[in-house]
Amino acid sequence: ADVGAETAATISRRDRLLGPAYRLMYERPLHIVKGEGAWLIDSEGRRFLDIYNNVTSLGHCHPRVVEAICRQVATLATNTRYLHDTILELAERLLATVPETELAHLMLTCTGSEANDLAYRMAKVRTGETGIIVTETAYHGFTDAVSQFSPSLGVSVDLGAHVRLVPAPSAYHADGADLADRFTRDVEAAIADLKRHGIKPAMLIVDTVFTSDGVLPGPSGFLAGAVAAIHKAGGLFVADEVQPGFGRTGEHMWGFQRHRLTPDIVTMGKPMGNGQPIAGLLVTNDAVARFGRDSRYFNTFAGNTVSCAAAVAVLDTIEQEKLIAHAATIGDQLRDGIAALADRHEAIGDVRGVGMFVGVELVSNRETREPDRATTSRVVNILRDKGILLSACAKGHNVLKIRPPLVLSSEQVDMVVQGIDEALAEAMSAGAD
Ligand code: PMP
C-alpha cells in the first residue's frame, strides 16, 4: 500500500532498529502520538475511534488513573519486599469481587503471559502432572512454556506433546448441538488421549469468552461440565480473564462468573492498570500451598507501588462510573446495530458476543458458512482509513473483533455501525472488481 514517504521512512527505521519479529497493524500503519477517551490521534492530528484496544478499558489516559500514577510515582516507586498499604488494598478490593469462592490470595505479575506461566508452574507443583487442555485457536502468552499452549501463534510454535486442543463453543457452527455437552465430551476425550500417552492433566485453561477463537462467550453455565471433568481427572481449572476481566462482559467483574463456578486460579492483566503493566492471579489456598512452601516468588517490577495505585484507581473508576452496567447497555446497542446490517450485507454470517465484546463473522456463503478472510481484511483496512480501529480473529481470520473502551458513548456506537455499513459496501464492490 502507498503509505507516503515519511511513514515509509519511519517503517524502515523501525525495521532496522527493532528487527524482524515485530508486526504493525493495518496496510497503512498508524503513527499515534496521543490518546484521549475512545480516541487516538496521529502525528498529523487525525482522530481515530479506537474500538479495539482493551487495555485502556476506561478510555485512553483516564484522568483519575493518570492522577493516581503521577501522585504515586512522585512519592515512592518500589517493590513488594517492603510493607505497603496500596498492594494490600488492591488485594482486598480484588478478593472482594469473588466473595463466595475459595479464591483467597492475590499474586502480581507484569504481564498476562507471566500470570499464565506462573499458573502453569503452580498447577504442575500442585498436581505433580504436566498435561494441558486449551481451545484450538487460544492465545495465552509468549513465554516458552505458555507459547506451547497458545495455538493461535500458528506454525511458528510447536505445541508441547503434553498439550491437547479442544474446539471452542461456536453456536454458529454447532448445527443445534448442545454446546455444554459437546465441550464436556471434548475435554473428556482430551483427558483420555493424554492418559493414553502416559500424561495426566495439570490444568484446563480457557479464556472465558474465547476471544482468539472468534469471540464465543457461549451460553452462561456451559463450562460447568468441563470443569467437573478436569477436577475429576485431578487437574486444575484456570480461568484466563486477561480479556474478559474487569467488567467487559457487562454482567460481572469476571467472565467465569457467567458460569457460576470457582476456578482454582484466575489470571488477569490487560485492563488492570488501564495501560500500566500490571497483571496477576487470584488463587485458592489449595492451588498455591505447595508452591508457596517450596518456592519463593519475587518479580522485580510486579506489584510495584505505582502499578498498584493505577489498579486501585481502575477499580474505583469502574465502580463510580458504573461501567459494568454501561458495558451491558452500550454493548447491546452495538450488537443490535451491527446485526441490523445483515439485511443489507450477505457477508454478515453471525453477530455475537457479550457486553463490550463483539464478534462479527464474515462468510462468502451463508449456507456453507465459508470463512471470508479477504473481505474481513479489506473491511479492517477500509475502516482504518475511515478513522475506526478494529481487527480480526478466529481460525479463519474472518471474525471482526470489536472490544471498545467501556466508556464508549451511544453516539460513538452510531459512528461504528455506520462505518461498518459503508466499509462492507466498499469491500464487496472492491472484491467484485
Ligand atoms: N491471555 C489472553 C487471553 C490474552 O489475550 C493475552 C494477550 N493478548 C495474554 C494472555 C497475554 O498477555 P500479555 O500480552 O500481557 O503477556
- Domain shared by 285 and 346, yes or no: no
Residue 2 lies in a domain: no
Atom index in ligand 1 nearest the CA of residue 277 equals 15
The helix or strand, by DSSP H or E, that contains position 47, with its residue range, turns out to be strand 47-50
- Domain shared by 82 and 118, yes or no: yes
pLDDT in tens, 254-306: 999 999 899 999 999 999 999 999 999 999 999 999 999 999 999 999 999 99
Residue 99 lies in a domain: yes
Longest Cα–Cα distance of the chain, Å, equals: 66
- Average pLDDT for residues 78-91, to the nearest whole number? 97
Q: Which domain holds residue 335?
A: 31-58+322-432
- Domain shared by 294 and 413, yes or no: no
Residue 406 lies in a domain: yes
Atom index in ligand 1 nearest the CA of residue 114 equals 16
Question: Residue whose CA is closest, atom 1 of ligand 1?
Answer: 140
Q: Is the CB of 242 under 6 A from ligand 1?
A: yes
Closest alpha carbon to 175 in 367, 393, 397, 396: 367
Test site for ligand 1: of 238, 243, 403, most ligand atoms within 8 A of the Cβ: 243
Is residue 1 predicted with pLDDT exceeding 80? Answer: no
Among the candidates 252, 285, 320, a domain finishes at: 320
Quick one: pLDDT at residue 134?
Answer: 98
Q: Is the CB of 244 under 6 A from ligand 1?
A: no
CA distance 396 to 218: 19
The helix or strand, by DSSP H or E, that contains position 238, with its residue range, turns out to be strand 236-240
- Domain shared by 83 and 172, yes or no: yes
Question: Residue whose CA is closest, atom 13 of ligand 1?
Answer: 112
Question: Residue whose CA is closest, atom 12 of ligand 1?
Answer: 112
- Domain shared by 334 and 392, yes or no: yes
Based on its alpha-carbon atoms, the radius of gyration of the chain, rounded to whole angstroms, reads 22
Q: Is the CB of 111 under 6 A from ligand 1?
A: yes
Test site for ligand 1: of 22, 109, 140, most ligand atoms within 8 A of the Cβ: 140
Test site for ligand 1: of 148, 152, 242, 301, most ligand atoms within 8 A of the Cβ: 242
Q: Is the CB of 137 under 6 A from ligand 1?
A: no
Is residue 87 predicted with pLDDT exceeding 90? Answer: yes
Distance 242 CA to ligand 1 centre (A): 6
Domain count, the chain: 2
Is residue 154 predicted with pLDDT exceeding 90? Answer: no
Is residue 181 predicted with pLDDT exceeding 70? Answer: yes
Distance 352 CA to ligand 1 centre (A): 21
- Residue 297, class by beta-carbon neighbours within 10 Å (0-12 exposed, 13-18 middle, 19+ buried)? middle
| CATH code of the domain in which 80 resides | 3.40.640.10
Is residue 24 predicted with pLDDT exceeding 90? Answer: yes
The structure's pTM equals 0.97
For residue 433, name the pLDDT band (cuts at 50, 70, 90): low
Quick one: pLDDT at residue 156?
Answer: 77
Q: Is the CB of 213 under 6 A from ligand 1?
A: no
- Residue count (the chain): 433
Q: Is the CB of 267 under 6 A from ligand 1?
A: no
Distance 261 CA to ligand 1 centre (A): 22
- Domain shared by 328 and 287, yes or no: no
- Average pLDDT for residues 161-173, to the nearest whole number? 95
Contact 332, 410 (CB under 8 A): no
Contact 396, 361 (CB under 8 A): no
- Domain shared by 179 and 293, yes or no: yes
Per-chain mean pLDDT for the chain: 96
Among the candidates 291, 320, 349, a domain finishes at: 320
Residue 190 lies in a domain: yes
Q: Is the CB of 207 under 6 A from ligand 1?
A: yes
Residue 275 lies in a domain: yes
Quick one: pLDDT at residue 237?
Answer: 98
Distance 297 CA to ligand 1 centre (A): 21
Distance 279 CA to ligand 1 centre (A): 10
Q: Is the CB of 112 under 6 A from ligand 1?
A: yes
Question: Residue whose CA is closest, atom 5 of ligand 1?
Answer: 243
Q: Residue 401, Cα to own-chain centre: how many angstroms? A: 11
- Average pLDDT for residues 232-256, to the nearest whole number? 98
Residue 355 lies in a domain: yes
Distance 115 CA to ligand 1 centre (A): 9
Question: Residue whose CA is closest, atom 10 of ligand 1?
Answer: 140
- Domain shared by 250 and 272, yes or no: yes
Residue 258 lies in a domain: yes
- Domain shared by 316 and 328, yes or no: no
Distance 237 CA to ligand 1 centre (A): 17
Residue 137 lies in a domain: yes
For residue 77, name the pLDDT band (cuts at 50, 70, 90): very high
- Domain shared by 46 and 68, yes or no: no
pLDDT in tens, 366-377: 999 999 999 999
Contact 409, 333 (CB under 8 A): no
pLDDT in tens, 321-338: 999 999 999 999 999 999
Is residue 160 predicted with pLDDT exceeding 90? Answer: no
CA distance 327 to 334: 10
Test site for ligand 1: of 52, 113, 267, most ligand atoms within 8 A of the Cβ: 113
Among the candidates 320, 341, 361, a domain finishes at: 320
Contact 51, 403 (CB under 8 A): yes
Strands 201-207 and 236-240: parallel
Q: What are the phi and psi torsion angles at 50 (to 5°)? A: -95, 100
Contact 206, 243 (CB under 8 A): no
- Domain shared by 52 and 152, yes or no: no
| CATH code of the domain in which 50 resides | 3.90.1150.10
Test site for ligand 1: of 22, 120, 134, 139, most ligand atoms within 8 A of the Cβ: 139
- Domain shared by 230 and 327, yes or no: no
